[in-house]
Structure 1
Amino acid sequence: MHFQWYPGHMTKAKRMMQENIKLIDLVIELVDARIPMSSRNPDIDELGKNKARMVLLNKADLAEDKWNDAWAEYFKGQGYSVVKVNSKKGGGLKSIQNVIQEACKEKMERDRKRGILNRPVRAMVVGIPNVGKSTFINSLAGKAAAKTGNKPGVTKGKQWIRLNKQVELLDTPGILWPKFEDQAVGLRLALIGSIKDEILQTEELAAEAITFMNTYYSGVLEEKYALESSADPYVVLERIAQSRHCLLKGSGLDTEKAAMLMLDDFRSGRLGRLTLEYPAEGEK
């Protein structure tokens, strides 16, 4: 399976970020806690240099706690402020304001010395598609300030959101790099739903998810779907189809429907908390 996806509006979004970065004090980058390195855009480091930086490990409730902690330490070691959050349920959001103030204290001190008082911190919220930026902003603002959707690519243009007297946020569309040099990165993004399913082969992707589960979370699929184990992911897919009564007309097995069902369970946390990559890989 080969992954390459770069919608036209993402080129425009990158230009927009380049134009707006001079207005910004802090870059808040959302990553998916299940794949913190694969869900980063390498361009953001270049765009955000000389700015205060914060990494939010979003969807932390879907990843394993011990790996969330390990990734938080990894990013802190790189000089970022880090918060583990669950934007949908509001987990971790209360600490955001204090961390923003801490991350920007040098800038605020410079302002104070120049006689500039009470200017709000301006933060740009960035991240790849479907990582949860709009949900995060809505949760933080306490209202539907930014459109949300469970498909990648919902945010199409920039918008400013005033949180309070201390903080203003700039929302931007998600951007992905033009091609995945490492196909393992593309696979991880596809597995969590950051690449549109319409351009992927569902059964092949589900087979990759099954292989991952068999390797790192042995026994989970067997318990979830009440089936016998198999090293062959396509056999497992057929058994899931049988277990969940995914049938075609004429009683054949609908393995595509079973694949979609399994991927939905994988992404939503119904198979448990899953981490797909680890800090040692991030250092490569």
Structure 2
Amino acid sequence: MEKRNHDVPLVQWFPGHMAKARRLIEENLKLVDIVVELLDARIPLSSSNPMLKGLIGSKTHAIVLNKADLADPGITREWVEFYKRMGKSALAVNSVQGKNIKELINMINTLTQRQTSKFAAQGARPRNARAMIAGIPNVGKSSLINRLAGSAATKTENRPGVTRAKQWIRIGKNIDLLDMPGLLWPKFDDPIVGLNLAFTGAVNDDTYDKEKVSLLLLDYLKEHYPKLLEERYKIDALPEDTTELFELIGRKRGCIIKGGRVDEEKIITVIFTDFRNGRLGKISLEAPSV
């Protein structure tokens, strides 16, 4: 998404518990065979935590593009191919509907086969693969874990070095999954990253100028997905002025207060909710550059 920097409000949010989340991930990495990094399929670059890359080091690392049901499918396919060209195992999933969940389980088993089978070479039984799913807040980690675990999920025993607050979840017969909290990084150096995280709801809405951010989201949608805006809000022709479009959406959606004025707070909620829940359609905010 290309925007002039002076048009982009500063979005920064790093609540105190994020430091604890980092420590938990760092302390428990030695217990797992693979880190499955969960990204938002609409913003794979912006939702990839640079802090996590440093923590993972040489650990086996797979990429999962979640919320693929909300993203532009053609662009999502480009992202999967992009990561594969970079030498990463990558998969797009829809954790709400369960699409590609079996493929994800197979990928984890395949990538951890060397670690889990080395015990058999020494005469012992192969142990379960140990996986950590990590990602930023609101990327759908809980939904994915619940979908992976299913109704037959059981907590496995506490393992050395794991606090009581952490739990291992048995996935099928061969995978033990370690649940980790969502992790943001202290400063978004690129203002567009902060903006994309605000668009998708990864940062608290109370920490930035919601009106400016909603107008910038409309700018992007006008440029890249105008038909979706027209269809959702029943607009024959989008006005050139984004503020005029903002008010027109409010009137179309009945966001009117005393005196016939539009209720800006309600319009902002409508725009954010429609985008984040996929009511506008399948939309991606980032595409691979190569």
TM-score, reference length from structure 2: 0.89
Q: 1:252 aligns with which of 228, 241, 261?
A: 261
Contact map agreement 1:55 1:81 (CA 8 A) in 2: yes
Change (3 A) 1:243 1:84: same
- Comparing 159-168 with 231-240, greater Cα deviation is found at 159-168
Q: Structure 2 matches for 1:89-128, cutoff 5 A? A: 89-128=97-136
Match of 1:270 in 2: 279
Three-state SS of the structure 1 residue aligned to 2:69 is helix
How far residue 106 of structure 1 moved from its aligned partner, in angstroms, is: 2.5
Which amino acid is 2:277 matched to?
S
Contact map agreement 1:202 1:260 (CA 8 A) in 2: no
Q: Structure 2 matches for 1:42-81, cutoff 5 A? A: 42-81=50-89
- Comparing 105-114 with 229-238, greater Cα deviation is found at 105-114
Which amino acid is 1:97 matched to?
I
Greater relative CO (CA pairs within 8 A, separation 6+)? 2
Q: Superposition RMSD on alpha carbons, in Å? A: 1.7
Aligned length: 271
Answering whether residue 240 of structure 2 is matched by residue 237 of structure 1, we say no
Answering whether residue 148 of structure 2 is matched by residue 140 of structure 1, we say yes
Change (3 A) 1:182 1:62: same
Contact map agreement 1:59 1:86 (CA 8 A) in 2: yes
Match of 1:14 in 2: 22
Answering whether residue 209 of structure 2 is matched by residue 201 of structure 1, we say yes
The answer for unaligned runs of 5 or more in structure 1 is 147-156
Match of 1:150 in 2: none
User: Alpha-carbon deviations, 1:86-122, whole Å to 9, x = none?
Assistant: 1111111121221111111232343333334221111
Three-state SS of the structure 1 residue aligned to 2:11 is coil
Separation of aligned partners in 1, 2:98 and 2:166: 23
User: Alpha-carbon deviations, 1:202-236, whole Å to 9, x = none?
Assistant: 22111011100111112321232123412221110
Separation of aligned partners in 1, 2:209 and 2:124: 55
Separation of aligned partners in 2, 1:168 and 1:40: 24
Which amino acid is 1:106 matched to?
R
TM-score, reference length from structure 1: 0.90
User: Alpha-carbon deviations, 1:163-206, whole Å to 9, x = none?
Assistant: 23310011111111101000000001110111111223222111
Contact map agreement 1:5 1:195 (CA 8 A) in 2: yes
